[in-house]
């Protein structure tokens, strides 16, 4: 081989590399090979159609079969409990709502993902979502620090402040940056019954608790002083929490429809989609529906910003993600097949396909891709920004009971059955009792004036 030939070969090889390298660098999908069929139990949430399309793509690409058991939100927890408590789980992958993960982790019902395949890892581009997929059994806390990888997030729901861009521009208002901005703007824009300035969930239960929790975080409040460090002193009746509750009540009373005490997620979405609300605190999973002409009268008019900051400048957003996990009571082959699907689903290509189908991707590189330039994905920057401060809430075994306690007391304060101080004192008393009963190191603050 002479020099000329060698140079020619090197040039051809370099050219080929230049063509192939970008494709290889992106490596959009993971090849998982032939796998036995799996069954996934999944909630019939607003993002389900996007998930179904992405699963279809998996089946087409790999030839592997996936059966989806679509279950209403209210029934899915019980289905999964029954599955993991039985002899062999009928589901190979579970979709667990974040607050319920602790029950499954503590109960020992799941297989740590690295036990199935030690080489498995969640790609670094995937958001951590407050480490909800990790479990540190010693600390009884969800953290990657000393924890085991138990699950990954297929869908990272967070609340965004949705607002009518056209209405704001017409009124000469800037998108709200603080909750005080929201109050000022909603007061200006409220013109009931034609237009309500601001809507959020006020119904008793998880609705009001979850929507209010982000305001609580922004005001610098919390339920327990430092649960991660084992300090379960109840601080839900702090002045910060009272500020957050008073602000939430003022917003709802001044700007929401008169039935604010019973507004659920469907109502909030409906009010925004029909053009009757100027602002709404809504989960990002519903965002795409506002641009769907079949479901919305305000196509192209709803914009998003991260949830606003509190008086001290802090921002808060409670993460409401789902967690995909593999039950313990499964044969090894099924566990491996479940993990293979997980590996594929977490790849860039799958997450991009999920986004294009209307889902909420979990990888940062999808949010910085060319998709972000398209109008349909104008919520990407708000979501990306929210990941900087969004946090898990109620990440302990008592979470679901505290959700119930607060869900009632907050609603009672909102509808005027009791003052905000009295409601928070009552909640603090009940939560402290709950922690004490469970052997936690707990205590309480002096009661608020009632």
Q: Which residues bind another protein (CB under 8 A)?
A: 77-78, 81, 84-85, 103, 106-109, 193, 203-205, 257-263, 267, 270-271, 274, 276, 328-329, 400-401, 403-404, 408, 411-412, 414-415, 417, 426, 430, 433
Of 102 and 366, which CB lies nearer to another protein in the complex structure? 102
369-406 residues labelled b (16+ CB within 10 A) or e (exposed): beeeeeeebbbbebbebbbebbbbbbbbebbbebbebb
The minimum distance between CB 204 and another protein, in angstroms, equals: 3
Of 26 and 270, which CB lies nearer to another protein in the complex structure? 270
The minimum distance between CB 334 and another protein, in angstroms, equals: 16
The β-bridge partners of 391 are 318
Q: What are phi and psi of 209, to 5 degrees?
A: -60, -45
Of 271 and 284, which CB lies nearer to another protein in the complex structure? 271
The β-bridge partners of 360 are none
Of 240 and 323, which CB lies nearer to another protein in the complex structure? 323
Whether the bond into 112 is cis, omega within 30 of 0: no
Helix (H, G, I), strand (E, B) or coil at 32: coil
Number of H helices, E strands in the chain: 16, 13
Helix (H, G, I), strand (E, B) or coil at 5: helix
Question: Are the C-beta atoms of residues 226 and 443 closer than 8 Å to each other?
Answer: no
The minimum distance between CB 407 and another protein, in angstroms, equals: 9
In 229-283, alpha helices (H): 239-255, 265-273
Of 123 and 205, which CB lies nearer to another protein in the complex structure? 205
The minimum distance between CB 166 and another protein, in angstroms, equals: 20
What is the C-alpha separation between 283 and 211, in angstroms, rounded?
10
Of 162 and 204, which CB lies nearer to another protein in the complex structure? 204
Question: Are the C-beta atoms of residues 324 and 101 closer than 8 Å to each other?
Answer: no
Of 37 and 108, which CB lies nearer to another protein in the complex structure? 108
Question: Are the C-beta atoms of residues 169 and 142 closer than 8 Å to each other?
Answer: no
C-alpha distance across the termini of the chain, in Å: 93
The minimum distance between CB 432 and another protein, in angstroms, equals: 12
The minimum distance between CB 399 and another protein, in angstroms, equals: 10
The minimum distance between CB 401 and another protein, in angstroms, equals: 5
The minimum distance between CB 411 and another protein, in angstroms, equals: 6
The minimum distance between CB 19 and another protein, in angstroms, equals: 52
The minimum distance between CB 208 and another protein, in angstroms, equals: 9
Helix (H, G, I), strand (E, B) or coil at 243: helix
Of 79 and 188, which CB lies nearer to another protein in the complex structure? 79
3-state secondary structure 179-240: HHHHHHHHHHHCECCCEECCECCCCCCHHHHHHHHHHHHHCCCCCEEEHHHCEEEECCCCHH
Of 81 and 225, which CB lies nearer to another protein in the complex structure? 81
Of 129, 97, 393, which Cα lies nearest the Cα of 244? 393
Q: Which residue has tokens 């090894």?
A: 332
Residues 6+ apart with CB under 8 A from 58: 64, 66, 341, 344, 345, 350
Of 342 and 412, which CB lies nearer to another protein in the complex structure? 412
Of 32, 62, 107, which Cα lies nearest the Cα of 327? 107
**Chain mean position to CA 317:** 9
The minimum distance between CB 62 and another protein, in angstroms, equals: 31
């Amino acid at each position: 081989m002479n020099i000329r030939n060698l140079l020619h070969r090197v040039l051809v090889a370099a050219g080929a590399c230049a063509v192939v390298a970008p494709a290889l660098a992106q490596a959009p999908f993971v090849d998982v090979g032939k796998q036995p069929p799996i069954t996934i139990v999944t909630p019939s949430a607003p993002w389900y159609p996007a998930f179904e399309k992405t699963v279809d793509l998996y089946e087409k690409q790999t030839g592997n079969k996936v059966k989806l058991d679509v279950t209403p939100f209210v029934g899915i927890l019980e289905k999964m409990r029954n599955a993991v408590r039985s002899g062999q789980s009928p589901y190979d992958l579970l979709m667990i709502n974040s607050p319920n993960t602790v029950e499954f982790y503590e109960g020992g019902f799941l297989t740590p993902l690295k036990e199935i395949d030690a080489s498995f890892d969640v790609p670094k581009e995937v958001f951590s979502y407050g480490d909800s997929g990790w479990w540190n059994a010693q600390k009884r806390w969800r953290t990657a620090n000393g924890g085991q990888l138990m699950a990954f997030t297929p869908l990272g729901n967070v609340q965004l402040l949705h607002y009518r861009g056209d209405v704001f521009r017409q009124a000469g208002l800037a998108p709200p940056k603080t909750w005080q901005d929201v109050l000022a703007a909603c007061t200006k824009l409220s013109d009931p019954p034609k237009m309500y300035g601001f809507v959020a969930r006020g119904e008793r239960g998880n609705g009001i608790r979850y929507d209010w929790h982000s305001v609580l975080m922004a005001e610098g409040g919390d339920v327990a002083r430092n649960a991660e460090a084992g300090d379960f002193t109840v601080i839900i009746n702090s002045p910060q929490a009272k500020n957050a509750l008073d602000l939430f009540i003022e917003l709802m009373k001044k700007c929401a429809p008169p039935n604010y005490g019973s507004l659920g997620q469907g109502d909030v979405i409906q009010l925004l989609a029909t053009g009757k609300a100027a602002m709404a605190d809504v989960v990002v999973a519903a965002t795409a529906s506002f641009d769907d002409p079949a479901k919305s009268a305000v196509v192209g008019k709803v914009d998003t910003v991260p949830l606003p900051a509190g008086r001290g400048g802090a921002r808060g957003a409670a993460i409401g993600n789902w967690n995909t996990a593999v039950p313990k009571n499964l044969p090894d082959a099924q566990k491996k097949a479940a993990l293979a699907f997980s590996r594929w689903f977490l790849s860039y290509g799958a997450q991009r396909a999920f986004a294009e189908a209307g889902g909420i991707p979990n990888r940062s590189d999808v949010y910085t891709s060319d998709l972000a330039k398209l109008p349909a994905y104008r919520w990407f920057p708000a979501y990306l920004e929210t990941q900087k401060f969004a946090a898990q809430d109620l990440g302990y075994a008592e979470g679901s009971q505290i959700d119930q306690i607060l869900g009632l007391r907050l609603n009672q304060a909102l509808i005027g059955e009791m003052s905000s101080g009295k409601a928070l004192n009552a909640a603090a008393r009940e939560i402290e009792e709950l922690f004490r009963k469970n052997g936690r190191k707990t205590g309480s603050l002096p009661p608020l004036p009632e």
